[in-house]
Structure 1
């Protein structure tokens, strides 16, 4: 009875963060679970992403609870990840499903799920209002990071190689500013820029020299991990990608690209997991100073303490019990 139904959405406007987190969890749990996704009006890019992992997709026409419930059985553990699943929505799903899991990052309202996951590094149980039966899985021990992201040795030629990713959508094209500034700081730098499936700005990078900028789009988790591992510095959004970089153990600069990333920025800065924590608009001098710090490695050792690589084992144990 190890049946899992993941309900998450992702678009050009909102990015693919919710889908990517759920996909990471699905990958951690592995093929011993019957995993499928329910996505509202999934794009071709999203369908291809899930197809690569041989995960079936139920295409929903709306976020109407009644439509979702037609696909839920009393054998399902339903995993919700999104901002539109309020308490009433969750109660309706839990009433029909075997168990309910909610992936959260807002800490708002009363939680009625059987399990609530929030992998923010500094979140505490006292911040939540829950039912007596609710189990909270909090902090980096439950980091929702694809198992492809594991510790790798530093590349010998990594000093002049950088990896850049500003999220799945990057609506304001922060990537372009980051690439431009990095090349002005170090003209010898070779940059791998990873653009998400929802990114509409690929054409704006045509003027950069191809020998200095390699644009990669729609990368799989393994391809993303390989790109990060081959670089001596990563400049990324303060989102799950920062956890992925830390899991590989690389000097990192994080950039807050959305209002809901404030906690992540604070955590990365306060725990000294990044050599720089920047906000928009990016200050060129601050970025240059952070790039210089990347030659030092204290942050890498701290990353290895915070991200121990055992989250998948913890999740498999939790979900095996939920499905029992």
Structure 2
């Protein structure tokens, strides 16, 4: 199976992370080969794939994927054009697409996966034989072993995590914005530094009694110790959501806006449209509104475990 995906500077590592998770479930059945564009912006994504011990083939343009021999193609990429799947279909026995946004005019694929809660509201144009899989979530096994948190009257711990990369040094900027609130209320701010953080060295040099930095933590263990999570509106939202932790979400790329707005409308997260909004929300946050957010989360549908996708692929 070929897995075509890209991630790195400007677009983050979310697509890489979730396809690696899926690949870990499929590697016992399929010979997995990752395919990615040979661009300097994606070096951190390439490194992540290699560090996960999967074979990686670099190509100059997406159409070159037909030159790699395989029966199955799984694509998780937000930059493909409308003709990509139809062009590729005659070269593969089965094509699987992971898509969040429904931006293409036509999805000429065998299986279409959208793990987002708004998936069924999107008007996908597919061929009549396309199987739609909208009831699966890309969660690591560690999360299924955790019990959702209990809302405490006072905020003691806040977790800030922006995923694997942070090109604009937003982590530092957010810390600066919310530090007065952290100090005033003697809150511990737990900050995760991703492996591809461009300004990692600058962050590590920060010394403050209320700030603790983590690199490569077991995320579920760290998350359940916190009363609020601050994250980008990508995969991490679902991890916080599964643990029923109130969320402050920010948008780092265009394809995160739909989840941010949906989450805001359903009161499963607070959509901070700029980083100053984070501090404003924290100042206004109280026991009742955090309790109400968690109550809204309880109506969130529990999705099937990822292993069940294997049966669908077969």
Q: Which residue of 2 aligns with 1:127?
A: 123
Q: Which residue of 1 aligns with 2:161?
A: 165
Contact 2:36/2:46 (<8 A) preserved: no
Question: 1:61-140 counterparts in 2 under 5 A?
Answer: 61-66=59-64, 68-73=65-70, 76-108=71-103, 109-124=105-120, 127-138=123-134
1:183 aligns to 2:179 (yes or no): yes
Q: Which residue of 2 aligns with 1:251?
A: 246
**Post-superposition CA distance 1:79-103 (Å, at most 9, x none):** 1111332233222322111200111
Q: Which runs of 5+ in 1 are unaligned?
A: none
Distance 2:265 2:132 in 1: 23
Q: Which residue of 2 aligns with 1:13?
A: 10
Distance 1:162 1:244 in 2: 15
Normalised to the residue count of structure 1, the TM-score between the two structures is 0.82
Contact 1:7/1:79 (<8 A) preserved: yes
Contact 2:35/2:59 (<8 A) preserved: no
Which of 36, 39, 47 is 1:39 aligned to? 36
Q: Which residue of 2 aligns with 1:204?
A: 202
Distance 2:258 2:141 in 1: 24
Q: In structure 2, do the counterparts of structure 1 residues 88 and 203 end up closer, same or farther at CA, with 3 Å as the change threshold? A: same
Q: Which residue of 2 aligns with 1:229?
A: 224
Q: Which residue of 2 aligns with 1:286?
A: 280
Distance 1:184 1:215 in 2: 18
1:50 aligns to 2:49 (yes or no): yes
Structure 1 residue 303, shift from structure 2 partner? 2.9
Distance 1:153 1:64 in 2: 41
Structure 1 residue 226, shift from structure 2 partner? 2.2
Normalised to the residue count of structure 2, the TM-score between the two structures is 0.84
Structure 1 residue 131, shift from structure 2 partner? 1.2
Which of 134, 146, 149 is 1:154 aligned to? 149
Distance 1:64 1:316 in 2: 25
Q: In structure 2, do the counterparts of structure 1 residues 259 and 62 end up closer, same or farther at CA, with 3 Å as the change threshold? A: same
1:266 aligns to 2:265 (yes or no): no
How many residue pairs end up in the alignment?
307
Contact 2:137/2:304 (<8 A) preserved: no
Q: In structure 2, do the counterparts of structure 1 residues 9 and 212 end up closer, same or farther at CA, with 3 Å as the change threshold? A: same
Q: In structure 2, do the counterparts of structure 1 residues 300 and 168 end up closer, same or farther at CA, with 3 Å as the change threshold? A: same
Contact 2:2/2:34 (<8 A) preserved: yes
| Structure 2 counterpart SS, 1:311 | coil
Contact 1:15/1:198 (<8 A) preserved: no
Q: Which runs of 5+ in 2 are unaligned?
A: none
**Post-superposition CA distance 1:173-216 (Å, at most 9, x none):** 22223222333112222222223333212233356325432333
Which of 22, 27, 43 is 2:24 aligned to? 27
| Structure 2 counterpart SS, 1:65 | helix
Structure 1 residue 225, shift from structure 2 partner? 2.3
Structure 1 residue 155, shift from structure 2 partner? 7.8
